[in-house]
Amino acid sequence: MTTVSPTAGLTIDTHPGFAHRTVQTLVIEAPLDAVYGALFEVREWPQYLPHVQEIDVRYDDGRYQEFFMTVASETDGSQLRVRSIRNCRPGEIEFFQPEPPEFLKHHGGIWRFTQAAENPEHTHVEVTHVWNLHEEVAPLVYPATDEASTEEQVTTMLAGHSKLALDSWRKVLTGKGGE
Amino acid sequence: MAAITETVVIDAPIEAAYGAFADLDRWPAILPDTLDVQVLYCDGYNQEFTMTVERPGGQETVRGVRYCRAPYELELVQTTPPPLLKRMTGRWNFVEQDGRTTVTATREFELLAPPAGDPAAAPVPDEAEFGRRLSGHLQHNLQLFREAVEADVAR
């Protein structure tokens, strides 16, 4: 018997090793090439995204990218420097943070880009984040409350970041704000 | 960009073959020229690592990332490739038939441009020569992995 190699379906969000995930989607009224290109051209991000202060690309061969992104903290405006590694294939960009924030043990995800069913000139964008909590640190940073567990608070925060990213890119690419 | 492919058939199930290639901590015991491996990050799917190997010109340390699609594929990019190389990427694919696993290793590489106007610089091999050497090295390593995995299964 031959075991067929179904690698096309194996991506970070199908890997069983991540306990948590959030998936956000949005249709951006711009062609797929333009949307994918904007997400791919990481060096251009500071021109478009006000919170991105600097991009320091360490490796980029047209498919694989490693870079540091300096962003302004939401809470106090201080600078956060985040290292990302990306695998950019046609129609999808996988990413992970080899040095995630202290409350996460692992963090990564995938962007998927397809022509919107209702209009081929528009792009359906789906972003999935997957992660594992740092079991000791996460409850200290996001203590459970009567309203939400630590897990729920982190999920809400990362889902919010995903939605904000989608809305920001829609505004950049179309001039339309989030709704 | 140039590419090479080498294969080996291992008398072992796919999970055993994949597992040996995926477990970077085993590499120094399997490959004598691998002096040290440091796994910097591993979430089960993404691996970032450094690897130091002994080469005729001395020790070389590369930094790489692998995408681990168990038990079918390992995808590799060296974000710090070896000297002389601008780019090195590749993958190992695993296919099982009748209890034996065929491992196909591919590498795509791009040499650095020869230094212009520096007669003292070390000569840069041409692409074909480098590819032949890389193929030989890759096949040698595949055979060492075959021996290690088949020894595992025999135990």
Question: Residue B77: its chain A contacts at CB < 8 A?
Answer: 59, 61, 63-64, 87
How far is Cα of residue B107 from the mean position of the Cα atoms in its chain? 8
- Rounded to whole angstroms, the Cα distance separating A164 from A52 reads 13
Provide the pLDDT for residue B57. Answer: 86
Buried/exposed B81-111: b ≥16 CB within 10 Å, e otherwise? beebbebbbbbbbbbbeeeebbbbbbbbbeb
Residue of A nearest to B74 (CA): A7
User: According to DSSP H, which parts of chain B are helical?
Assistant: 14-22, 27-30, 127-154
- pTM for the complete prediction? 0.93
Mean pLDDT for chain B?
94
Residue B31, amino acid:
L
In this complex, is the C-beta atom of B23 within 8 Å of any C-beta atom belonging to chain A?
no
Q: Using one digit for the tens of pLDDT, what is the confidence trace for B35-89?
A: 999 999 999 999 999 999 998 889 999 999 999 999 999 999 999 999 889 999 9
Contacts of B16 in chain A (CB under 8 A): none
Q: Is the pLDDT of residue B119 over 90?
A: no
**pLDDT given at position A34:** 97
Residue in A2, A98, A132 nearest the CB of B41: A98
Low-confidence spans in chain A with pLDDT less than 70: 1-8, 177-179
Q: How far is A31 from chain B (nearest CA, A)?
A: 29
Q: What would the DSSP string read from start to end of A48-117?
A: H-TTEEEEEEEEESSSEEEEEEEEE-TTT--EEEEEEEEEEETTEEEEE-SS--TTEEEEEEEEEEEEET
Name the DSSP letter for residue B44. Answer: S
- For residue A58, give the chain B residue with the closest CA: B79
Average pLDDT over residues B1-6: 95
pLDDT at residue B114 in the model? 74
- Report how far residue A151's alpha carbon sits from residue A18's, in angstroms, rounded to the nearest whole number: 13
User: Which string of DSSP letters, residue by residue, matches A15-30?
Assistant: -TT-SEEEEEEEEESS
Burial label for B45, CB within 10 Å (0-12, 13-18, 19+), is buried
Those residues whose C-beta lies under 8 Å from the C-beta of residue A65, and which sit 6 or more positions away, are A42, A57, A59, A84, A85, A86, A88
With contact defined as beta carbons under 8 Å apart, do A131 and A106 qualify?
Answer: yes
Q: Is B148 helix (H, G, I), strand (E, B) or coil?
A: helix
Answer for the pair A152, A133: CB distance below 8 angstroms, yes or no.
no
Asked if pLDDT for residue B101 goes beyond 60, the answer is yes
Instruction: Single out the residue of B36, B45, B80, B81 nearest to residue A97, CA to CA.
Output: B45
What contacts B141, CB < 8 A, 6 or more positions away?
Answer: B31
Nearest to A95 by CA among A127, A117, A120, A125: A127
Say yes or no for a CB contact (<8 Å) between B97 and A18. Answer: no
Q: Which tokens go with B138?
A: 């890759």
Q: Which residue of A has its CA nearest to B44?
A: A17
Nearest CA-CA partner of B76 in B61, B91, B97, B87: B91
Angstrom distance (rounded) from CA A134 to CA A152: 14
Tell me the average pLDDT across B88-110.
97
The chain A residue lying nearest B14, using CA atoms, is: A3
Residues 1-20 of A with CB under 8 A from B: 1-7, 10, 12, 15-18
**A17/B45 CB distance under 8 A:** yes
Other C-beta atoms lying within 10 Å of the C-beta of residue A26: 18
